[in-house]
């Protein structure tokens, strides 16, 4: 009943908030979320804006996929970039992942939510992704300034949510809370949901840095002395900004192969996210500042 539960949550969000938006990261979870939103409001259209925070460092395939989806589904798409960050030339390569992520993702998200006057933002985060997410509520209240206080979380007995907000407070809503990575892929297969081709193995140019395989997506990635991109069969298990998201070696070219590989793997999903590893609590710390 994961599908029905998510549909229920999406309908609830539309019914109780004045101006909800759907946060679209272009990844597989976002694709599932969009599909569920189409189902929830059918035969009506998706009744809210779809927001993408563009750091300008996303894989090119992701942006192409986003624009194609927006056209095909008739989405009311809002793309936002932190212009001050962009003008300052912030980059994950030269400024470090921490500062860059804060400015181009966390701050940018706060900017666009404020600009749209959004009182609720729907996201595709799942509790099985990471330890501090395991305690996230489905309806997660944020104090003015989008701050998350783990001690102020509202209990949700029987899945009943207290969605009352005072001025300045906002809500983050996570309809996929109870889904696992496996559920997401199985649903993508069952419903034939389109996803970015980067999730499937192909020959791609990569450089090896420590244990990580970084794809050379464009000429903004400075190569270190002696580094020569080499073609390797790789795919991505999770998608973010390209210099911060490591690929895995894989021959899985189809959905079935990806799912089969998932069952054989002994690495966790976010192991490919370089920003998470800085401190063990780092997602929690970022969430307190308003990170998704």
Binding residues for another protein, rule: CB under 8 A, are 1-5, 7-8, 11-12, 14-15, 38-45, 127-128, 131-135, 150-151, 153-162, 164-166, 169, 177-178, 180, 182-183, 186-187, 190, 259-260, 263, 265-268, 271, 280-281, 284-285
Give the HSE-up count for residue 79: Cα atoms under 13 Å, Cβ half-sphere.
Answer: 9
Q: Least Å distance between CB 64 and another protein?
A: 26
Of the two residues 41 and 200, which places its CB atom closer to another protein in the complex? 41
Q: Least Å distance between CB 17 and another protein?
A: 12
* Max CA distance (Å), the chain: 58
Of the two residues 27 and 85, which places its CB atom closer to another protein in the complex? 27
Contact 37, 10 (CB under 8 A): yes
Q: Least Å distance between CB 196 and another protein?
A: 20
Of the two residues 119 and 284, which places its CB atom closer to another protein in the complex? 284
> The tokens of 17 are what?
């908030």
Of the two residues 121 and 138, which places its CB atom closer to another protein in the complex? 138
- Please report, for residues 29, 134, 147, 188, 204, the alpha-carbon distance to residue 130 in angstroms, rounded to integers and kept in the order given: 15, 6, 19, 21, 28
Of the two residues 188 and 239, which places its CB atom closer to another protein in the complex? 188
Of the two residues 21 and 216, which places its CB atom closer to another protein in the complex? 21
Q: Please tell me whether residue 100 adopts helix, strand or coil conformation.
A: helix
DSSP string across 132-183 = GGGG--SEEEEBTTTB--GGGPPP-GGG-------TT-EEEE-TTTT--HHH
Q: Which residues of 191-215 are buried (b: 16+ CB within 10 A; e: fewer)?
A: eebebbebbbbeebebbeeeebbbb
Q: Least Å distance between CB 144 and another protein?
A: 13
Of the two residues 94 and 280, which places its CB atom closer to another protein in the complex? 280
Q: Least Å distance between CB 246 and another protein?
A: 12
* 122 sits in which H/E element: strand 120-122
Residue 68 phi/psi, 5-degree rounding, is: -65, -40
Q: Least Å distance between CB 282 and another protein?
A: 10
Q: Least Å distance between CB 151 and another protein?
A: 8
How far apart CA 27 and CA 188 sit, in angstroms, is 12
């Amino acid at each position: 009943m994961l599908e029905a539960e998510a549909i229920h949550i999406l309908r609830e969000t539309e019914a109780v908030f004045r101006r909800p938006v759907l946060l679209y990261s272009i990844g597989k979870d976002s694709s599932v979320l969009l599909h569920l939103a189409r189902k929830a409001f059918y035969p009506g259209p998706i009744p809210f804006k779809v927001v993408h925070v563009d750091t300008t460092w996303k894989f090119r395939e992701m942006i192409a996929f986003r624009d194609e989806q927006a056209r095909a589904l008739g989405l009311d798409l809002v793309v936002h970039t932190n212009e001050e960050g962009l003008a300052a030339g912030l980059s994950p390569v030269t400024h470090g992942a921490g500062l860059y992520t804060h400015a181009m993702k966390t701050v940018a998200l706060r900017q666009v939510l404020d600009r749209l006057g959004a009182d609720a933002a729907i996201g595709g985060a799942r509790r099985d992704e990471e330890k501090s997410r395991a305690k996230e509520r489905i309806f997660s209240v944020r104090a003015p300034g989008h701050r998350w206080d783990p001690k102020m979380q509202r209990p949700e007995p029987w899945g009943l949510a207290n969605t009352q907000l005072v001025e300045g407070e906002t809500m983050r809503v996570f309809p996929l809370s109870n889904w696992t990575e496996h559920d997401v892929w199985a649903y993508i297969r069952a419903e034939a949901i389109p996803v970015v081709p980067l999730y499937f193995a192909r020959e791609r140019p990569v450089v090896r840095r420590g244990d990580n395989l970084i794809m050379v997506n464009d000429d903004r990635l400075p190569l270190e002395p002696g580094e020569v991109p080499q073609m390797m069969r790789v795919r991505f298990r999770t998608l973010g900004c390209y210099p911060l998201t490591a690929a895995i070696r894989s021959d899985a070219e189809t959905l079935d192969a990806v799912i089969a590989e998932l069952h054989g793997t002994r690495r966790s999903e976010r192991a490919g996210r370089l920003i998470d590893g800085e401190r063990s609590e780092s997602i929690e710390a970022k969430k307190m500042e308003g990170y998704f």
